[in-house]
Structure 1
Amino acid sequence: MKIAFLADPLSTFKTYKDTTYAMMVEAARRGHELYAFRHRDMAIEAGRVVANIARITLTGDADDWYRAEPPVARALTEFDAVLERTDPPFDMEYIYATYLLEVAQNHGARVFNRPEAIRNHNEKLAIAQFPQLTAPTLVTSDNARIRAFHREHQDIILKPLDGMGGAGIFRVREDGMNLGSIIESLSDNGRRTIMVQRYIPEIVDGDKRVLLIGGEVMPFGLSRIPQGGEVRGNLAAGGLGVARAITPREREIGETVAPILWQRGLLLVGLDVIGNYLTEINVTSPTCFQEIEQQTGFSVTAKFIDALERAAAVV
């Protein structure tokens, strides 16, 4: 297959942990051709979506890890699979990119995850479709509603709807310390909608990443455990990643949402689960493959490329 990776600059990859890099290594091992480009490389010309795309080869060196040929303008329909692996922030440029990818898809391009599915599943708000699986949650920009939610639950988490890596997450306890300033800052004085959730004490044991591939729940996940007094378990916020077999409750959550999300065109999904509750549904560029593989020996990457090969063959 010819696989085009729509990703952040290759020079920024941390190869010892990057999931997209792991995907490339496994795809190359199987003899697939690798290509790479970025959102800004795409354009609609004469009604079709083209991009300046570079063919790449892997060197096997962890630092100087790739060679790229000069980019060539190509139609996205030339590829067997186009993988959207660009990290958030999910801003308007990201949304415009999904529209371009959707045009390409309508002309026959095979895009994973499906661009309209990415666009329709805000990684924070998507949990509202499964209220039976979530802790008490409020989505609003209204100061009074947030304060009432705090009075009811006493210990709460507030976060923006467009963040990643734990950015902008705050905990407010019973005393309400700094609640007003946090609301003002996150909501931009009521002009921006935010999410508020009841604090889940089980976060001390980790925020578990549960991976769904092709509608199947992977048997191992990665618990991101907060360190040094942090409330956030995100690896980007200093959390410790510990691979563990998924629990019966995590499997129940995964098997509830997996067939629905797969039917919508989401080949790869990363659920975030704290204790018994689903807290996020990650669809842009889910990670944690390498950490799970290094600690358990279970190749999530191989399962993903298997699923990609099947999906690309039937699209």
Structure 2
Amino acid sequence: MPDLQNLRVAFQMDPMEGVNIAEDTTFALALEAQRRGATLFDYGPQHLAYDAGRVIAHARPMTLRDTVGDHVRFEDRRIIDLTDDIDVVWMRQDPPFDMAYITAAHLLERLKGQTLVANDPQWVRSLPEKIVPLDYVHLMPPTMIARDPVMIDAFRKRHGTVIIKPLYGNGGAGIFKIAPDDSNYSSLLEMFFASNPEPVMVQAFIPEVSAGDKRILIVDGQLAGGFNRVPLKGETRSNMHVGGIAELVELTDTDIAIAEELGPMLHARGQILVGIDVIAGRLTEINLTSPTGVHELKRFTGVDTAAMCWDAIAVRLKRNF
């Protein structure tokens, strides 16, 4: 296990004091770094700035404990230079994937070749989670991205029951199952299009989702493992944010083949921790922004994905990324 003595790590994240340490992947990553000797900082995207050639952050030095109710201690905030003062930045704030998120990725991209940023912000920005799978259409269920109701109507007529979801949403929010005779369909499109200017994603419904949606974790291009997320009775969404239940599952040959096909692309593009979603052998999303599931995978399989991530980062640091 490579140690990280003297390594300085900054987490760009939602506030650490608010996380659930039994479930939060960022906490697991940070705690593993601290165990290996790293010094930790946290800051939010609102604390990130560009100043006369420098990318800086108004950050808090922090010390973690694996203790519910007392899991983090902070020192006073101070300005840190993300080139001179930091060796690794983890971009781990939750979406929405909006212009604020894209701007933060642009700023962190200016650290390229000087400070390792995980996941590489150039590709996080350029590969939105519901668009990057389009490079692998042969792995996906039938999918449309559109804003024109006439086009969406034609897709529905071809495929019957469909799933409609925001193109840049997360955590299962705003996902709807629409049956062919659903009287809410037109109102739903009106709501989507009135609230934002983007197209929506429409996919043919996969009935097997009732048996679960697999979350498969990939670390620097290598398959780590996976588990199942089963939706609550009466639900089609299996995301744990909306009540999906995690359970042990054996990955199929198809699941493994999907991960292995994606792996070289993810490695080449600096994506250290990625979560892909697979339903009945069909790829639905490639999660690059702040993928979760580290705790669940360790609980079900013993695989320590956080340790794998730091092993991979240590290798990249030795070869200057």
Provide TM-score, normalisation by structure 1. 0.96
Report the CA distance between 1:33 and its aligned residue: 1.4
Cα offsets for 1:112-142 (capped at 9, x unmatched): 1111110011111111111111010000000
2:26 pairs with 1:7: no
Paired residues of 2:278 and 2:284 also in contact (CA < 8 A): yes
Paired residues of 1:48 and 1:104 also in contact (CA < 8 A): no
Separation (CA, whole Å) in 2 of partners of 1:296 and 1:69: 36
Structure 1 residues 191, 100: CA separation in 2 closer, same or farther (over 3 Å shift)? closer
1:163 is matched by which residue type in structure 2?
G
- SS of 1:95's equivalent in the other structure is helix
Report the CA distance between 1:222 and its aligned residue: 2.2
* Paired residues for 1:1-315 under 5 Å: 1-77=7-83, 78-105=85-112, 108-188=114-194, 191-218=197-224, 220-314=225-319, 315=321
Report the CA distance between 1:105 and its aligned residue: 2.4
Separation (CA, whole Å) in 2 of partners of 1:310 and 1:40: 31
Separation (CA, whole Å) in 1 of partners of 2:48 and 2:178: 43
Structure 1 unpaired stretches of 5+: none
Structure 1 residues 56, 155: CA separation in 2 closer, same or farther (over 3 Å shift)? same
Paired residues of 1:59 and 1:66 also in contact (CA < 8 A): yes
Paired residues of 2:13 and 2:91 also in contact (CA < 8 A): yes
Report how many residues are paired: 313
Paired residues of 1:158 and 1:194 also in contact (CA < 8 A): yes
Paired residues of 1:158 and 1:196 also in contact (CA < 8 A): yes
Separation (CA, whole Å) in 2 of partners of 1:234 and 1:211: 15
Separation (CA, whole Å) in 1 of partners of 2:251 and 2:105: 32
Cα offsets for 1:223-269 (capped at 9, x unmatched): 11111200100001111111323221111111111101210121111
Separation (CA, whole Å) in 1 of partners of 2:196 and 2:149: 7
Q: CA RMSD in A?
A: 1.4
1:114 is matched by which residue type in structure 2?
D
Provide TM-score, normalisation by structure 2. 0.94
2:233 is matched by which residue type in structure 1?
G
Paired residues of 1:214 and 1:307 also in contact (CA < 8 A): yes
* Percent of residue pairs identical: 38
